[in-house]
Amino acid sequence: MNSALSSPAFRRVLVAGFVSDSGDWMLFVALPLVVYRLSGSALGTSFAFLLELVPAVALAPVVARLVARFDRRRLLVTVTLVQAVAVVPLLVVQSEDTLDVLYVVIVVQASCSAIFEPAKDSWMPDLVDRDRLVSANALIGLAQNVGRLVGGPLGGALLAFGQLELVVAADAASFVLAAVLLWSAPRDRAGATGTAASEHGNAAAVRHGVLPALRQRGMRAAFVSVGLAGAAQGLFLVLFVLFVTDTLGGSDAEVGLLRGIQAVGSIAAGAALGLFAVAVRPRRLIVVGALAFGAISLAVWNLPVLTTTLWPYVVLFILVGAPGVLLSTGYVSLIQTTAPDRGAAFAAYGLVAAVGQGAGLVTAGLIQPASGLLPLLEAQGVLYVFAGVTMMLRHRSASSDRPERSADSPTRSAAFTPRGEASRSS
């Protein structure tokens, strides 16, 4: 069996990820609605999302060193417990005067995520064989999207009944359970001296940093593509709520339904890549995913000319979930198989995505009142197309996508096999 599911350690990762992501998606759907409801403006919603991006930019150099120097299991457990505590203050958010509390929570959560994601992604090549990385990343996306399918509609429905308290409690509980599962994982011996240290030496890993990772020859086109896709996502995060509530005349529950239903297509794509161990080069995944994402997005935004009936949008949002998985799996797998310093490369990945997303958020908040929704929604779809074309035009050698084994990059680290089981939260 060539799927990453053959690893007992990896199976625990999926369980922990599903638990945490279900709670996260409840909150992720609810918070934009709360901000929009209390502030009454697209600019207020943009500001909330923009705050979430600041830590990914500001902390990128620090994150690269944290991931390189510390035991990743302990780092991830600590971050997850901080996240559990950090959501509790949301219970006092009841009016526009208390939005400051919500903004502080967003910054703390985003700071934790800026550490968590690079640590998680850089750890994955030590949990599974390199030829199973696409399978592993796709299955992580699968678990995340099952969590989205459960948590997204539930978050919108609970908020429709005024139960933000239940959303907060569920998210906090999911973080605690994920931390328990993480703690049961084998100790990350490689992380104690540095993720990249095991690959190229500790001193060299510390010297690499985020800026050299951004300049790495084989990754430049990928980072440009990430930035374009991030800008498209920034536009979407703000304009989606307005599109459903204003253009389609939908309710809070329908916002949650459409946001969560994308998981159906994502689950199908994740199952194909993960369960059946489909062998696809990461760059090809990025190209196909970005072009398909752009095409389906453009179809969605222009459909109101013909109908505002809900069911065609449900179908299209199901379809758009599949290229989303291809795109994210391609980016992560490419970094894991080509970057000499995974921690720094994933910190750079987060930085570029955050800058792109921030540009999209600011554009949506400032320009939408004057331009209206449709021009910006059209731009969102076109940006995804450009992200795919950027990778398509990248001239590369025939072996640039092929994972290379080296003496200091073993098939699997012995640190993760003694007990037969490990856990990770994603």
DSSP one-letter string for 186-236: PP-HHHHH-TTHHHH-HHHHHHH-HHHHHH-GGGHHHHHHHHHHHHHHHHH
Beta bridge partners of 409: 406
Task: Name the packing angle between helices 60-69 and 99-127 (round to 10°).
Answer: 40
pLDDT on residue 162: 63
Chain centroid, CA 30 distance in Å: 17
CA angle 267, 273, 274 (to 5 degrees): 80
d(CA 192, CA 296): 44
* Whole-number Cα distances in Å, 305 to 300, 302, 308, 368: 10, 6, 8, 19
Give the torsion sign (CA, 414, 415, 421, 423). negative
Q: What is the DSSP letter of 3?
A: S
Residue 170: closest CA among 183, 157, 182: 157
Query: pLDDT tens digits, the chain, 426 residues: what are they?
Result: 567 777 777 777 677 778 777 777 777 777 777 777 777 666 666 676 677 778 878 888 888 888 888 887 788 889 889 989 988 998 887 777 777 888 888 888 888 888 888 888 888 887 777 778 888 888 887 787 777 777 777 777 777 776 678 778 878 888 898 888 878 766 554 444 334 444 444 444 444 578 878 888 778 889 999 999 999 998 888 788 888 888 888 887 788 788 777 778 888 888 887 777 556 788 888 999 999 999 999 999 999 889 888 899 999 999 988 898 889 889 998 988 888 788 888 888 888 998 898 888 888 878 877 777 888 999 999 999 999 999 988 744 434 444 444 333 333 332 222 222 223 333
d(CA 20, CA 82): 13
pLDDT on residue 181: 84
d(CA 334, CA 337): 5
Spatial contact of 93 and 164, defined as CB atoms under 8 Å apart: yes
pLDDT on residue 194: 39
Instruction: Set out the domains of the chain in order of their start, with CATH numbers.
Output: 4-188+205-397 (1.20.1250.20)
Residue 86: closest CA among 172, 25, 167, 20: 172
pLDDT on residue 408: 34
pLDDT on residue 46: 64
382 Rama class: left (phi>0) / alpha (psi -120 to 50) / beta: alpha
pLDDT on residue 208: 55
CB-based burial, 226-240: b 16+ in 10 Å, e otherwise = bbbbbbbbbbbbbbb
pLDDT on residue 187: 59
Residue 403 tokens, joined: 């994972």
pLDDT on residue 204: 42
